Structure 1
Amino acid sequence: MNSKPSHAYPSPMIDTWRVRKLDDKEEILAFLQKDRFYATYAIGDLEPDFFPRCEWFAAGAGGHIQALALHFTGLDPHILFTMGANDGLALILGSALRPERVYFTGRSEHLPAIRAFYSLGEIKKMLRMTVRNEDFRPVSGKALKLSPGYSSELKRLYSLGESRGESVIAFSPYQLAQGVFYGIEKRGRLIAAAGTHLVAPTYGLAAVGNVFTDPDYRRRGYATLCTSAVTRELLAQGLDVVLNVQEGNADAIHIYEKLGYREYCRFIEVLGVRKGLGRNKDPWGFQNPRDLLGIKQHIKEKTG
């Protein structure tokens, strides 16, 4: 555990609230565990391989965390996860944490704070699903376990979805090396795959992801078979397993429900670009802590 003191930023919008940078894993985990399956990815980023790629900020009073934001730099675009009180998130994004381009993941109620500082792309409405060992219903069939040597072939497979707006944006070769991936090959080429976004053995969590089938081979059960193989191995390791799926993707939701997954919560994903880029100063990147008094009014003006 890192025992260095956290860096504090005065936050006068709420008299007793402060924004501070966190580096104590136990303090971060205690807050994230309040909603373990919503915060699965953030908890996974406490693992030693990921923690150096993270910036953690909290807002609250009296040393108690009321809101938390995680900036993860291990993927392109960077990821920004939000949890907790909206006013606290506005304080964090208005003062201490101001990345230029990020992929947000958080609750829909966090949108006012995000929109105050970022121009947003298309908002994706997502489901977080979980599966318990006693509910898991594997399918029969054999999938190939993929080694790190399949990295280039996975990239080729995932690139097939770009023209259809289905590109897999959350894949990086380190996930293949550190996670669990299964695929189906035809004529020496991958035509379907599923894997993990993260495996966090320290915290007993894993997130299934990167599920994709070549458009020419769909509706043959390949995605189901690969996802089943990944899920089976993760559950056998004693991990709690989650996955994400777009709210409107009825076919995928049906596949996951057949395997025993159930909806846990809803959230959003959206690409954001910091407002004011290209000017001499980010107009909403506050330099003086007293300027934070304007955050709440700015949010009201933008959201009505």
Structure 2
Amino acid sequence: MSVRAEHDRGVLARLLGRDPVLHAYQLGDLDDFFWPYTSWFRLDDQVVLLYHGGDLPTLLAFGAPADRAALSVLLGQVAPVLPARLYAHLSPGLGDALAGSFRLTPGGRHHRMALTDAGRLGAVAPAGVVLGVADLPQVRELYARAYPGNWFDERMVRTGQYLGIRDGGALVAVAGVHVFSPAYGVAALGNVTTDPRWRGRGLGASVVAALCVRLLQSVEHVTLNVKADNVVAVRLYERVGFSRVADYDEWTLTASGAAAG
């Protein structure tokens, strides 16, 4: 069987929904909000996504160990039609399937974590107010100071799933989402940060806990991605009830023979 483009959201939801935590980002991208920026490729029951809504397209291919041989075949067949430069988020070992067509620059091992013990949210005093479009200047300023280089899709503030903690009028901690899809029952935390001058006071845990409580009113699965070597962040998430459920690797891909830069 050869790879083909898949345009049926119902089929994709069925295939990805077999493991909604592993595929939370892809499921979220089935929403109208992201769907126009997606291209999907399918080989039998394996699916990969090319998301082209950012500065560089991003390829997502995740699978349990038993699925990775089939995913490698799929990636090898898709490689000739991929852009000359892109990011990739791949389950461990899948980069080998693209190594013949691309130069792979590693971006590090990451954990996929999921909220598996919501009871632990009660051990943290939740805090935070809902942020909106009017708060964007302060949000941008906080990210520039505390989380430079983060990927922030400002449209996500409109979901009502961005919370912030203030000191007086100043925004000192924030937590938001990369994915929020009540239709598919998934959310993914993102853009969590605290002003460096306020770190060590538990604000990060408090705003994350408040956001999780809010998200669980609308979705079943709350997930996130975190760099494996970010020990402080991993411990914060474990404290409020998250656990590691899978790993993946981030890469920058440049087509073999393409000019560097």
What is the alpha-carbon root mean square deviation over aligned residues? 2.0
Query: Displacement of 1:133 after TM fit?
Result: 6.3
TM-score, normalised relative to structure 1: 0.77
Partner residue, 1:167: 149
The answer to whether structure 1 residue 192 and structure 2 residue 173 are counterparts is: yes
The answer to whether structure 1 residue 233 and structure 2 residue 223 are counterparts is: no
Matches within 5 A, 1:2-81: 17-59=1-43, 64-65=44-45, 67-81=46-60
The answer to whether structure 1 residue 90 and structure 2 residue 76 are counterparts is: yes
Query: Displacement of 1:103 after TM fit?
Result: 1.9
Distance 2:250 2:110 in 1: 7
Query: Displacement of 1:113 after TM fit?
Result: 1.6
Larger Rg: 1 or 2? 1
Q: Taking structure 1 as reference, are residues 267 and 117 closer, same or farther at Cα in structure 2, changes over 3 Å only?
A: same
Q: 1:103 aligns with which of 78, 87, 91?
A: 87
Q: Secondary structure of the residue that 2:50 maps to in structure 1?
A: strand
Distance 1:264 1:254 in 2: 15
Partner residue, 2:65: none
Q: 1:214 aligns with which of 167, 183, 195?
A: 195
Distance 1:151 1:273 in 2: 34
Q: Which amino acid aligns with 1:242?
A: T
Query: Displacement of 1:271 after TM fit?
Result: 2.3
Q: Which amino acid aligns with 2:4?
A: R
Distance 1:275 1:156 in 2: 38
Which 5+ residue runs of structure 1 have no aligned equivalent? 1-16, 280-304
Superimposed CA distance per residue, residues 30-84 of structure 1 (whole angstroms, 9 cap, x where no aligned partner): 221232211110011111121111011123xxxx23x322111222232210145
Higher relative contact order (CA 8 A, sep 6+): 2
> 2:90, 2:248 within 8 Å by CA — same for their partners in 1?
yes
Distance 1:123 1:278 in 2: 20
Distance 1:264 1:22 in 2: 27
Superimposed CA distance per residue, residues 197-221 of structure 1 (whole angstroms, 9 cap, x where no aligned partner): 1101111111111111122221111
Distance 1:202 1:187 in 2: 37
Partner residue, 1:301: none
Matches within 5 A, 1:122-133: 122-132=106-116
Query: Displacement of 1:88 after TM fit?
Result: 1.7
The answer to whether structure 1 residue 203 and structure 2 residue 184 are counterparts is: yes
Q: Taking structure 1 as reference, are residues 179 and 207 closer, same or farther at Cα in structure 2, changes over 3 Å only?
A: farther
Q: Secondary structure of the residue that 1:236 maps to in structure 2?
A: coil
> 2:181, 2:219 within 8 Å by CA — same for their partners in 1?
no
> 2:126, 2:207 within 8 Å by CA — same for their partners in 1?
no
**Identity of aligned pairs, percent?**
27
> 1:69, 1:92 within 8 Å by CA — same for their partners in 2?
no
Q: Taking structure 1 as reference, are residues 238 and 55 closer, same or farther at Cα in structure 2, changes over 3 Å only?
A: closer
> 1:179, 1:199 within 8 Å by CA — same for their partners in 2?
no
Q: Which runs of 4+ in 1 moved over 6 A?
A: none
Superimposed CA distance per residue, residues 181-204 of structure 1 (whole angstroms, 9 cap, x where no aligned partner): 111223523221111111011111
Q: Secondary structure of the residue that 1:198 maps to in structure 2?
A: strand
